[in-house]
Amino acid sequence: MEQQLPAPASKHRARLLAWSAIGVAVLAIYGWLYYFEPFAIISRYLNDKITDTFILIPAIVAATLGIQLTRQFKPAEPPYRIWLTFSIGWWFWVGGELLGYLYDYFYWYTEYPEFTWIDACWVLGYIFFGLSLYYQFRLLYFKRPRSLQYLGFIALAGLIALGLTQWALQAGLGEGYSTPVVYLSVLYPVFDIFEGGAALWLFFLFGRGYLGRPWWGLISFAVADSINIYSWMGGFDNTPEKIYYAFDLVSAVTYMAGYVITALAFASALDHIHRTENPPPGASEAAA
């Protein structure tokens, strides 16, 4: 009697659905903690650190899985460089999240310094994300990447941010902050637009391909950071409280979703590679 083996693709979809369900549940719990602040009765600092931990865990998982995906390729293969630079970017952002604990401990009851090592981690993360996107597009459209071209894109983003900074200051946004701080705050959403747009482009190019999914997290961050920076610069000053808090919640959950989406995408890619390279015992005989 011929043995009926479970379809590997079906098991892969089942695992992906299970992981996605866990991700949605974690996001729902995080949103509840963030909005209702149940631990604020004890301490707002405690509630904040609990929600920060909910962010940190998928951030570390995404960065770790990114390195594991990188190791599936040989150093001489183009995907190795793409995913290595992408994963380095995630680790810089993990560093930023960890530094947030340290700075909150010392500055929770006082004002943060204008510039911190957290900012350095964010900027370096963006630079490595952009570099990985650049390598991906060069692989798709050209043979040999040229670093000077990527430096040109960074310079262009910097100039656009400079122009938007002048507009923001003239519009009265960012009042009470120095020009360099406003510039850095504008630079983040500019990077988000550039890299989120590039990730969206890759989404349409790859379709549902497993190596196109890790970029989706950047799209989520682009949405979250844009809302957050607009709010920080005073964009919601004349907005009713209910609308303001609704946007604030969307920004917070979407921000965390960026890490969750990336972690799920890396896990799905690794599972796809492992099941295609290591089919279940008896699969070849069943196919014969």
Q: What is the per-residue pLDDT for 8? A: 61
Q: Is residue 287 part of a domain?
A: no
Q: What type of residue is 255?
A: Y
Question: Using an 8 Å Cβ cutoff, are 55 and 30 in contact?
Answer: yes
Q: What is the per-residue pLDDT for 127? A: 93
| CB environment 30-45: b (16+ within 10 A), e (fewer) | bbebbeeeebeeeeee
- Phi then psi for 134, rounded to 5 degrees? -60, -45
Q: What is the per-residue pLDDT for 32? A: 96
Inform me whether the pLDDT recorded for 237 exceeds 80: no
Inform me whether the pLDDT recorded for 142 exceeds 50: yes
Q: Is residue 24 part of a domain?
A: yes
219 contacts: CB under 8 Å, gap ≥ 6: 196, 199, 200, 203
Q: Is residue 112 part of a domain?
A: yes
Q: Average pLDDT of the chain? A: 84
Q: What is the per-residue pLDDT for 115? A: 87
Q: Is residue 2 part of a domain?
A: no
Q: Is residue 69 part of a domain?
A: yes
Confidence bin at 144 (pLDDT 50/70/90): low
Q: Is residue 257 part of a domain?
A: yes
Confidence bin at 114 (pLDDT 50/70/90): confident
What percent of the chain is modeled with pLDDT above 70?
Answer: 88
Q: Is residue 5 part of a domain?
A: no
Which residue range(s) make up the domain with 126?
12-276
Average pLDDT over residues 167-186: 81
Q: Is residue 22 part of a domain?
A: yes
Average pLDDT over residues 1-30: 76
Interaxial angle between packed helices 44-70 and 78-107, expressed in degrees from 0 to 180 and rounded to the nearest 10: 170
How many structural domains compose the chain?
A: 1
Q: What is the per-residue pLDDT for 188? A: 86
